[in-house]
Structure 1
Amino acid sequence: MKSEFPILHQDINGHPLVYLDNAATTQKPRSVIEAVKKYYEWDNANVHRGVHTLGSRATDAYEGAREKVARFINAPASRQVIFTRGTTTALNIVASGYARQTLREGDEIVITPMEHHSNLIPWQQAAKATGATLKYIPLQPDGTISLEDVEETVTERTKIVSITYVSNVLGTINPIAKIAEIAHRKGAIIVVDGAQSTPHIKVDVQALDVDFYSLSGHKMCAPTGIGALYGKAQLLERMEPVEFGGEMIDFVELQDSTWKELPWKFEGGTPIIAGAVGLGAAIDFLEQIGLHNIDQHEKKLTRYAMERLSNIDGLTIYGPREERAGLVTFNLGDVHPHDVATVLDTEGIAVRAGHHCCQPLMRWLKVSATARASFYLYNTEQDVDRLAEALVKTKEFFGYEPIR
């Protein structure tokens, strides 16, 4: 797979690049780069407006990408797929366009302490604006959640349950279908942050029975600045747009306006056309490889990484030990994660360090920050070996005794 990704063929600080920051963003295969290049060189025009050839080709490519997203997540219809700038925008659309319109004082929003800020702050703001109560499903000691706690936390007053499918820090894979069943039984809808799940495992929004599902293209080999929101049709039709302007209107009078039908009423202004084209190409690439194959490769790689890193004295790994996604979050003794990441970079290894946009979770872990190595389809066991060897060097650099 590495041969398909031009950026991976370079040296960093005199060492071949080992890219282990895939939970932040993935690299782009040549086919995606070429698809975006071809659009700008051959098809560049605005969509849905012109009757000329370039406009028709651009519209076909843009709407074709929407159909690919719908197929990729098994949405019932492409009109239920709204193009956004990414997961953050998608979740904000739901929090603003749905939650603020429907919540009343005393209603409940239920989330978890493992949420990315993108799936936490919009609900804080929605609760403040409507008088709703924000509640949290407690975490188990290993960073998972129990269905018993879900049953207890979600009540008849709960209107929205919003949860990440896969934690970007812990690697926890949440039982979304079972949580959706509990939410629906108690009269709530379920919103899913799919930023860390969509690139790695096969997602079927109908089988999961989720009401809203969000994804980011840049975490699945597509360009930055493009993502999507899936919603059940009856919910999307009830919602008001959150952005107003060109392209999302049906009729405009001097004192009032009406909106286009789905999905365009949520896509005001010139959309991210090249990004959508790149997302469509990324989906073609991932489907050619197969999500099952990607999932199995990452599970094998994660097991290997857990074994290698667990043998390093003084290294603490966070999250469940068994069923987990393709990342390992850790701290190395009392060395600050930023220092760990800096030394690893001198060895050509890119990892993430910080709070990972999960400050409440960091407080739950009783740390200020962590380092994170996250894997994707182009990573290998040799990459993990390089990481383990570099972490041993990091220990020595900061005065630890080498492992014998």
Structure 2
Amino acid sequence: MTTRTLGRLRRTDFPYYAAHPDVVYLDSGATSQRPETVISAEADFVRADYAAVHRGSSVATGEATWAFEAARERVGAFVGAGERELVWTAGATDAINMIALGISDASQGLGSAELALSAGDEIVVTEAEHHANLIPWQRLAARTGAVLRHVAVDADGLWSLDEMRGAVSSRTRLIAFPHVSNVTGQIAPVTDVVGVAAEVGALTVLDACQSVPHMPVDVSALGVDFAAFSAHKMLGPTGIGALYGRAELLDVLPPARTGGSMITTVTMDEAEFLPAPNRFEAGTQPVSQAIGFGAAADYLASLGMSDVRSHEEGIAQALVETVTRTPGVRLIGPAPGAERAAIASVIVDGVHAHDVGQFLDDRGVTIRTGHHCAQPLHRALGVPATVRASASVYTDIDDVSRFGEALGEVRDYFGVTT
């Protein structure tokens, strides 16, 4: 199926386009639109089946709990997670913080020594991280005395496996990295990084927010220890994400949040926790959002993730070709012809990114401007902000053409001639 066919046919599944038929939506890297099946699944559950989960013995509670857990099973299967290996979270940011806070507790003697960090141990990240996969590790290093090291990016915003190898030492205990950069679209060699980590016995944490919605991802086959992704970037609702963790690690990771629904026994002095995943799900859960998350996984699975990836490879190629033939516009990330996700961040010579964004928006083209929660990467590039176009299953070649036409008019509009 061609990039035009999949994008145009599937667009009818998304009510957003009925309301905004003339809008070019190229901001799926920030948040995606939702198909009617996802909207209806959540709404129908709220209308007819909503009840507390894992509490009480009523028929209503039992049916809601079944639906809640069935959604977990489907999302887990979508990414290759085993039984008990998928935890509901408030989002991907929350998921990564849960790992960091759990390791922090373990380092204070509140959990398994297997996960504990000591002064002088090392955490390795890349300079391309989203802040959500950087700041939690900064805080963990500050709490434990660990050293935070990073893999630098080059002039195109790319990091390399060789640089990763150079940053890792016998003291490295954890490597956190993005599967796909939300700025450059660079796709990481995940299994190679896992191999580097294995050589020194380090844990791996994968930021999979920009990969799970766009390509086949099997976390078990990749071999990572932990992974985080969110629903709202994969055609699902806001307010919910997922933490994948190998079962044997989740069983010893201290829960970052405590309270009701995650315990077996509580006395006035101590508490014992349920096995994973429930030990990490304190309090009232985002039940209807989980139903929507499951429906989003079902929708993408029905398309076939290999077909989704093929479609978006075509969009990525079109974006690269469009940008590289536009005078005065610099493309960030992999070179033309190299593998990349359907993300294109650009710098327009002589025009600030925010001005470019306003110009495009006035012409019905929705993109993202700013540092994209990746200030260190932009600092390495020597710019405060870039203009980012990012695609999804509903994007087609006509969208790219309109983006290119508007982008080509920017410098003339602002009177830039050099």
Match of 2:86 in 1: 81
1:354 aligns with 2:360: no
> Which of 5, 19, 30 is equivalent to 2:14?
5
Tell me, in whole angstroms, the C-alpha distance in 2 between the residues paired with 1:314 and 1:267. 50
> Which of 206, 221, 230 is equivalent to 2:235?
221
Tell me, in whole angstroms, the C-alpha distance in 2 between the residues paired with 1:98 and 1:81. 18
Match of 2:76 in 1: 70
Bigger mean CA deviation after superposition, 31-40 or 91-100: 91-100
Match of 1:375 in 2: 391
Tell me, in whole angstroms, the C-alpha distance in 2 between the residues paired with 1:196 and 1:285. 17
Tell me, in whole angstroms, the C-alpha distance in 1 between the residues paired with 2:263 and 2:78. 28
Bigger mean CA deviation after superposition, 298-307 or 104-113: 298-307
The one-letter amino acid paired with 1:202 is P
Q: Show the 5 A alignment for 1:288-327.
A: 288-321=302-335, 322-327=338-343
Tell me, in whole angstroms, the C-alpha distance in 1 between the residues paired with 2:416 and 2:269. 71
Q: Secondary structure at the match of 2:213?
A: coil
Give 1:297 deviation, angstroms.
0.6
Give 1:401 deviation, angstroms.
6.0
> Which of 93, 98, 102 is equivalent to 2:98?
93
Give 1:282 deviation, angstroms.
0.4
Contact conserved, 1:243 with 1:268, CA < 8 A, in 2?
Answer: yes
Q: Secondary structure at the match of 1:293?
A: helix
The one-letter amino acid paired with 1:103 is L
> Which of 158, 161, 184 is equivalent to 1:144?
158
The one-letter amino acid paired with 2:90 is R
1:37 aligns with 2:39: no
The one-letter amino acid paired with 2:198 is H
* Residues 261-290 of structure 1, C-alpha deviations (whole Å, 9 max, x = no match): 111110000101011100000011000001
> Which of 42, 67, 85 is equivalent to 1:61?
67
Bigger mean CA deviation after superposition, 92-101 or 317-326: 92-101
Match of 1:158 in 2: 172
The one-letter amino acid paired with 1:395 is R
1:122 aligns with 2:127: no
Give 1:10 deviation, angstroms.
3.2
Contact conserved, 1:315 with 1:330, CA < 8 A, in 2?
Answer: yes
Match of 1:28 in 2: 34
Match of 1:238 in 2: 252
Relative to 1, partners in 2 of residues 1:100 and 1:142: Cα closer, same or farther, differing over 3 Å? farther
Q: Show the 5 A alignment for 1:146-225.
A: 146-225=160-239
* Residues 15-48 of structure 1, C-alpha deviations (whole Å, 9 max, x = no match): 8111000000000000000001101100110101
* Residues 65-90 of structure 1, C-alpha deviations (whole Å, 9 max, x = no match): 1111221111122x111100111000
The one-letter amino acid paired with 1:240 is P
Tell me, in whole angstroms, the C-alpha distance in 2 between the residues paired with 1:146 and 1:351. 28
Contact conserved, 2:157 with 2:381, CA < 8 A, in 1?
Answer: no
Bigger mean CA deviation after superposition, 48-57 or 35-44: 48-57
Tell me, in whole angstroms, the C-alpha distance in 2 between the residues paired with 1:342 and 1:138. 32
Tell me, in whole angstroms, the C-alpha distance in 1 between the residues paired with 2:307 and 2:368. 25
Tell me, in whole angstroms, the C-alpha distance in 1 between the residues paired with 2:236 and 2:184. 24
The one-letter amino acid paired with 1:73 is V
Tell me, in whole angstroms, the C-alpha distance in 2 between the residues paired with 1:271 and 1:216. 15
Tell me, in whole angstroms, the C-alpha distance in 2 between the residues paired with 1:371 and 1:145. 20
Relative to 1, partners in 2 of residues 1:143 and 1:401: Cα closer, same or farther, differing over 3 Å? closer
Give 1:99 deviation, angstroms.
4.6
Give 1:379 deviation, angstroms.
0.5
Give 1:100 deviation, angstroms.
4.9
The one-letter amino acid paired with 1:326 is A
Contact conserved, 2:128 with 2:159, CA < 8 A, in 1?
Answer: no
Tell me, in whole angstroms, the C-alpha distance in 1 between the residues paired with 2:63 and 2:358. 46
Tell me, in whole angstroms, the C-alpha distance in 2 between the residues paired with 1:64 and 1:390. 45
Instruction: State the identity as a percent.
Output: 42
Give 1:4 deviation, angstroms.
0.3
Match of 2:22 in 1: 16
TM-score for the superposition, normalised by structure 2: 0.93
Bigger mean CA deviation after superposition, 220-229 or 93-102: 93-102
Give 1:9 deviation, angstroms.
2.3
* Residues 200-251 of structure 1, C-alpha deviations (whole Å, 9 max, x = no match): 1111111111000111010000100111001111211111111111101111
* Residues 184-203 of structure 1, C-alpha deviations (whole Å, 9 max, x = no match): 11110101001111101111
* Residues 321-353 of structure 1, C-alpha deviations (whole Å, 9 max, x = no match): 211111100021121111111111111111000
1:330 aligns with 2:346: yes
Tell me, in whole angstroms, the C-alpha distance in 1 between the residues paired with 2:316 and 2:152. 26
Contact conserved, 1:10 with 1:17, CA < 8 A, in 2?
Answer: no
Match of 1:366 in 2: 382
Q: Secondary structure at the match of 2:124?
A: strand
Contact conserved, 1:305 with 1:328, CA < 8 A, in 2?
Answer: yes
Contact conserved, 1:20 with 1:349, CA < 8 A, in 2?
Answer: yes
Tell me, in whole angstroms, the C-alpha distance in 1 between the residues paired with 2:359 and 2:126. 33
Match of 1:273 in 2: 287
Tell me, in whole angstroms, the C-alpha distance in 2 between the residues paired with 1:400 and 1:16. 28
Give 1:312 deviation, angstroms.
1.1
